[in-house]
Amino acid sequence: MLIPPLKKTLMIGLSLLTVLGGRSPKNREQNFWNWFTNHEDSLFHFENDQERVFGELTVELRKVNPDLVFEFSSIENGRRDFTISAGGIKSAFPAVEALYAVAPKLPRWKFFKFRQRHEPANLSYNGVTVSVDKVKFDLKRTGEKADITIFLPEYSKAQEETYMGIAFLLLDQSLGEYDVETRIGFVDVKNISEVSSDSQPFVSLPKTFDAIFVRH
């Protein structure tokens, strides 16, 4: 059977793509994990050359999706945690899910999708330090989400952007990236002097949040 020249060219092009690979999401994801596995030792001991290792890791991760970022834990019992994060960008959530879904099983690693919950800690950001034990919140469910007001010491409109950044960092610590992006609606930040009688210490946020969404 004769193939018209144009159709033949298209078929050859498709065949080349099939052979070369590396263009479908699955190939990008698998290529990342192949790279990770081949560089596993330097990643595990990244402190030996952190700038180079993090730079190379960032390049490889952005080949999967330019919005993806990462976190490492410290070494505990001979293992490290490696977290794939969307950096708080909800549109990148499917990329996180897809990459995590094909993560390899490596003895020295535990992989996580999205930044996990941690006990809230004191934060320094853009030259401002906030003690978490001085922070309070109000939380109100509104349909499928909850609106939150966070009361911060020394908050001022002049530094609103910095304090809003601190608020989101505290939220990520307390609730984890996934819940913040999918369950938290409106976020407001006010000075601690504006707390109401119903305001609660920030450290109790996870328990209050889980009770609102009936999570056990």
Per-residue model confidence as pLDDT tens digits over 32-59: 999 999 999 999 999 999 999 999 999 9
- pLDDT band of 107, cuts 50, 70, 90: very high
Handedness of CA 89, 94, 95, 100 (dihedral sign): positive
Statement to judge: residues 188 and 151 lie in one domain: yes
Helices vs. strands in the chain: H and E counts, helices first: 8, 9
How is residue 79 annotated by DSSP?
B
Statement to judge: residues 103 and 167 lie in one domain: no
**In contact, 42 and 53? CB cutoff 8 Å:** yes
User: Which one is predicted more confidently, 8 or 193?
Assistant: 193
Statement to judge: residues 95 and 146 lie in one domain: no
Statement to judge: residues 36 and 109 lie in one domain: yes
How is residue 115 annotated by DSSP?
P
Share of the chain above pLDDT 90, in %: 81
DSSP string, 113-175: ESPPP-----EEETTEEE-GGG-EEEEEEETTEEEEEEEETT--GGGHHHHHHHHHHHHHHHH
> What domain range is 72 assigned to?
23-113
In a domain, 97, yes or no: yes
- Boundary residue ending a domain (76, 95, 113): 113
Q: Is the pLDDT of residue 138 over 50?
A: yes
- Boundary residue ending a domain (113, 146, 176): 113
Statement to judge: residues 99 and 128 lie in one domain: no
Q: Is the pLDDT of residue 18 over 50?
A: no
Q: What is the pLDDT of residue 10?
A: 39
Q: Is the pLDDT of residue 1 over 70?
A: no
How many domains does the chain contain in total?
A: 2
In a domain, 109, yes or no: yes
In a domain, 107, yes or no: yes
- Boundary residue ending a domain (113, 140, 174): 113
Nearest to 85 by CA among 213, 172, 168: 172
Statement to judge: residues 183 and 204 lie in one domain: yes
In a domain, 6, yes or no: no
Statement to judge: residues 27 and 109 lie in one domain: yes
Statement to judge: residues 137 and 192 lie in one domain: yes
Q: Tell me the CA end-to-end span of the chain in Å, nearest whole number.
A: 65
- pLDDT one-digit tens code per residue, 52-91: 999 999 999 999 999 999 999 999 999 999 999 998 899 9
